[in-house]
Amino acid sequence: MNKRKKNSKVAIKLIGAICSFFIAHFAYASNDTKPDASIYVDSLENYVKEISAPSLPGFSYLISKHGKIISKGSFGLADVEKGIKNSEDTVYRVASITKQFTAVSVLILANEGKLSIGDKLSKFFPNLPNSSKITILNLLTHTSGMWDQERDEDFPFPIDQYVEPQEHLSYISKKGVFFEPGKEWRYSSNGYFVLGLIIEKVSGQSLDSFMRERIFSPLKMNNTGLYANRSENPSIAVGYGLKSEKPYREIDTNMKTYNGAAALCSTVNDLFIWNEALHNGKVLPEETYKEFIEPYKFDNGFVPSVKYGFGVGAEIVGGHLTLGHPGQLKGFQSDILRLPSEEVNVIFLSNINGYQFPVKWRVTDKLIKTLYGGVEKD
């Protein structure tokens, strides 16, 4: 195939805000990537110590090269009140990283002939606006035009309560569409929420069960799942914010509401397994993988400034071409990146609001720069 055809106020601001992140920061330049070069693991490890505080919520990170872990560590507290430290086994909410797992699940079903990425949305949800025009491909590439929350009052449900899919769908129907499918690019978490429901319809399983059976269990990602809240997995780190430099618990978001868009919880070790398998041909056939990472292209050949494939984006981070996806959620921030030329994985998971983290903007940008000897201090 040649054409590559976002409760409460808190939920909207943090799950939906990822849209502006992509629009501002995806920049693809396949000829501008640095060649493999000397790496500075000692400098990296000194840097992560500098940005951590033992008495505050913190983070876990992992860096690998050519399939071998070259550095990893955990800092701060997973549960401040109980004094539980973050560790390599700490489970974090990873928010929009979920999208690449949802995309892969769609492709698994497509390869088995159970659906096609060219299928119209009307085949599954005929009552949604523009369902006769929107394709699965449009949903995968954020080109569907499907309505997504932008204002707080657009989706006025308590963040810690589960919103039934039908009620969620009714809001999508009520708001209509932003544009005709395939004509513009606009990040849409609701598109991936709907993709999760399509997977459930086609497979006859819950999305969590499908991913567990087809992805998590085969790869031995034993600490990964689509957990709705901490009561379903008490090992999930508590998400925090800071006020007057003191931590406070953020609301325990019920992630089942967002399902295929943002419900994934995982560890740095499991995401390392995932990234190695995904980018080394152990998850998708070669041709399907190429589709997965290829940026969407409009009919006239124009490629949007956001170089987004299926749940992954190609962007320059820390001066290197990367493939991956960040995530933001109340009390959590995350990032999973692959430097394809260098065969390097950079994984960062944190249980503190991204905008309150001591590193300005994107932590992985600093990690990559430090790893290659060019960090810029905040």
| In the chain, where the domains are located | 9-371
pLDDT at position 337 is 98
Would you state the structure tokens that stand for residue 188, as one six-digit string? Answer: 């849409």
**CA angle at 252 for the pair 59 and 160, rounded to the nearest 5°:** 150
Instruction: Report the C-alpha gap between 148 and 51 in whole angstroms.
Output: 34
Nearest residue to 192 (alpha-carbon basis) of 77, 95, 64, 70: 95
pLDDT at position 376 is 55
In eight-state DSSP terms, residue 53 is -
Strands 225-226, 332-339: pairing is unpaired
The winner for highest mean pLDDT among 143-157, 332-346, 360-374 is 332-346
pLDDT digits (tens, 9 = 90+) for 32-60: 444 445 789 999 999 999 999 999 999 99
Q: Reply yes or no on whether the pLDDT at 378 is more than 90.
A: no
Query: In the chain, pLDDT over 90 holds for what percent of residues?
Result: 74
- Contact by Cβ (8 Å): 260, 193: yes
Residues whose CB is less than 8 angstroms from the CB of residue 50 and which lie 6 or more positions away in sequence, other chains included: none
**CA angle at 365 for the pair 369 and 39, rounded to the nearest 5°:** 30
Q: Reply yes or no on whether the pLDDT at 3 is more than 70.
A: no
- Contact by Cβ (8 Å): 291, 106: no
Report helix, strand and coil shares of the chain as percent, to nearest 5: 35, 20, 45
Secondary structure element (H or E) that encloses residue 346, with its range? strand 344-350
Secondary structure element (H or E) that encloses residue 63, with its range? strand 59-65
Q: Reply yes or no on whether the pLDDT at 14 is more than 80.
A: no
- CATH fold label, 9-371: Beta-lactamase (3.40.710)
pLDDT at position 152 is 61
- Contact by Cβ (8 Å): 141, 296: yes
- Contact by Cβ (8 Å): 190, 146: yes
The neighbour count for residue 234, using CB atoms within 10 Å, is 8
pLDDT at position 375 is 58
Nearest residue to 222 (alpha-carbon basis) of 88, 71, 76, 67: 88
pLDDT digits (tens, 9 = 90+) for 98-155: 999 999 999 999 999 999 999 999 999 999 999 999 999 999 999 999 999 876 667 7
Q: What is the mean pLDDT of residues 288-307?
A: 86
Residues whose CB is less than 8 angstroms from the CB of residue 79 and which lie 6 or more positions away in sequence, other chains included: 237, 238
Q: Reply yes or no on whether the pLDDT at 228 is more than 80.
A: no
Q: 248: exposed, middle or buried (C-beta count within 10 Å: 0-12, 13-18, 19+)?
A: exposed
